[in-house]
């Protein structure tokens, strides 16, 4: 395989413009993506089901007899999948459920002063929409990653949208995952149109309280544009990987990790920061020697040329500083003392500790979630978890004695802000 990286060489030699280009991976800067997505959102908001059917014909080449896929067909798909695939999906289901239960939010209460009690409880959302990507490949794993923590959190209704194949239905594997996860409804719609349908609601597709799930640049942009209408998990766009590697790593392992991320999308970002020149050279050689079959080969080559990089850092400190700036979706620490490096990591969607902690394992089987922030948004967003499927109800409880204690200070504060009625209300408790 002939490989041309977008950037190559020492980190310290990158110009400010080159460094910015590597770190600025926002797809919303693309005016075509932005304007096309806005037009689709407006069209679905205005024309509902009719627009969705027209978009399926225009973008997917499919005439849909129905937007919704009956659950009897999902169950047939689950019964009909290969036994080894079903076993793998069931293992993922169990591990996701285990991790989700361990990290599930719980009600809390604290007494901040004698008689002053503040608490909050997690209340499950009523209805959540899951987007499961299609197009270049079908992703049943994404259905499980989104639906399982939603179910653990107690969400009332879970719907799934996934692009239709030539037969007018999503991939049988996606439908099998929907059956296994126990979702409530499935719709054969994809792209920005699916996001619009879940955000605004149509005659067929119910409006949801939150939209979760990964997608391509158009899906990510659609989620950003409707985020003022309905909440979203995070703007998860094209896949990203940053590997920090020292001379202890098998260079072929790193090459395989790069290819595995680059095969997702021509806009995927796959970057290596090697800690010595020989490791950098060996990774480059290993990458050239890897054999990839079509149609993935073209996608990998395009991705590495557009957003790939093979860089050299003088020290681990320099590499970790760049990682914090880059804020990758996936960060693989392929170094000797990976645990020590982990303690110093900031701004990563998910960290893979040690060369044997392949991103592929996290994508499918460990029970951690693969719905993660991209485009540098790991600076402020986290990966999907049960926390994304609840809203918090908070309360305060104040005893009469505590009210009398709070009253003078609260009245003073209120008077300083010119809110005299607040002050009167507070001071009335001094007399109790």
What is the set of active-site residues?
329-330
The set of residues, in sequence order, having a beta carbon less than 8 Å from that of 42 and lying 6+ positions away, is none
No. of helices (H) and no. of strands (E), the chain: 17, 15
Closest of 81, 155, 219, 157 to residue 388, by C-alpha: 155
d(CA 219, CA 59): 14
What is the gyration radius of the CA atoms in the chain, in angstroms? 25
d(CA 224, CA 219): 9
The rounded Cα 168 to chain-centroid distance in angstroms is 27
Closest of 350, 313, 304, 302 to residue 330, by C-alpha: 350
Burial 294-315 (b: 16+ CB within 10 A, else e): eebeebbbbbbebbbbbbbbee
Going by DSSP bridges, is the β-strand pair 127-131/240-245 parallel, antiparallel, or unpaired? unpaired
Q: Three-state DSSP class for 323?
A: helix
The set of residues, in sequence order, having a beta carbon less than 8 Å from that of 353 and lying 6+ positions away, is 333, 338, 339, 342
């Amino acid at each position: 395989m002939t490989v041309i990286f977008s950037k190559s060489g020492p980190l310290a030699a990158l110009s400010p413009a080159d460094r910015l280009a590597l770190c600025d991976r926002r797809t919303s800067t693309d005016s075509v993506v932005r304007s096309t997505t806005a037009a689709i959102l407006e069209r679905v908001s205005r024309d509902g089901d009719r627009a969705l059917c027209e978009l399926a014909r225009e973008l997917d080449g499919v005439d849909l007899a129905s937007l919704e896929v009956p659950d009897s067909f999902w169950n047939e798909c689950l019964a009909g999948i290969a036994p080894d695939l079903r076993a793998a999906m069931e293992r993922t289901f169990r591990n996701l459920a285990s991790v989700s239960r361990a990290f599930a939010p719980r009600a809390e209460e604290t007494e901040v002063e004698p008689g002053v009690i503040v608490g909050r409880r997690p209340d499950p959302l009523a209805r959540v929409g899951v987007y499961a990507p299609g197009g270049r490949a079908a992703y049943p794993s994404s259905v499980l990653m989104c639906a399982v923590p939603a179910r653990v959190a107690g969400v009332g209704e879970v719907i799934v949208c996934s692009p239709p194949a030539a037969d007018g239905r999503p991939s049988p594997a996606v439908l099998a995952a929907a059956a296994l996860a126990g979702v409530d409804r499935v719709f054969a719609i994809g792209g920005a149109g699916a996001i619009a349908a879940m955000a605004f609601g149509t005659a067929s597709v119910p409006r949801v309280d939150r939209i979760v799930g990964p997608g391509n640049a158009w899906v990510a942009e659609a989620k950003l544009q409707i985020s003022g209408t309905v909440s979203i998990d995070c703007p998860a766009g094209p896949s990203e990987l940053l590997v920090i590697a020292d001379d202890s790593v098998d260079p072929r392992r790193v090459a395989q990790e790069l290819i595995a991320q680059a095969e997702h999308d021509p806009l995927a970002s796959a970057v290596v920061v090697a800690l010595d020149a020989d490791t950098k050279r060996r990774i480059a050689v290993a990458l050239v020697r890897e054999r990839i079959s079509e149609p993935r080969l073209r996608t990998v080559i395009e991705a590495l040329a557009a957003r790939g990089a093979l860089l050299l850092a003088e020290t681990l400190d320099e590499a970790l500083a760049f990682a914090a700036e880059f804020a990758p979706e996936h960060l693989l620490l392929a170094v000797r003392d990976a645990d020590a490096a982990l303690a110093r990591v900031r701004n990563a969607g998910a960290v893979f500790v040690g060369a044997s902690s392949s991103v592929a394992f996290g994508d499918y089987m460990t029970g951690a979630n693969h719905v993660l922030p991209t485009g540098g948004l790991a600076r402020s967003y986290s990966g999907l978890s049960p926390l994304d499927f609840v809203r918090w109800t908070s309360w305060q409880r104040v005893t009469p004695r505590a009210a009398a204690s709070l009253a003078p200070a609260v009245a003073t504060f209120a008077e300083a802000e010119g809110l005299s009625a607040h002050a009167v209300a507070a001071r009335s408790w001094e007399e109790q």
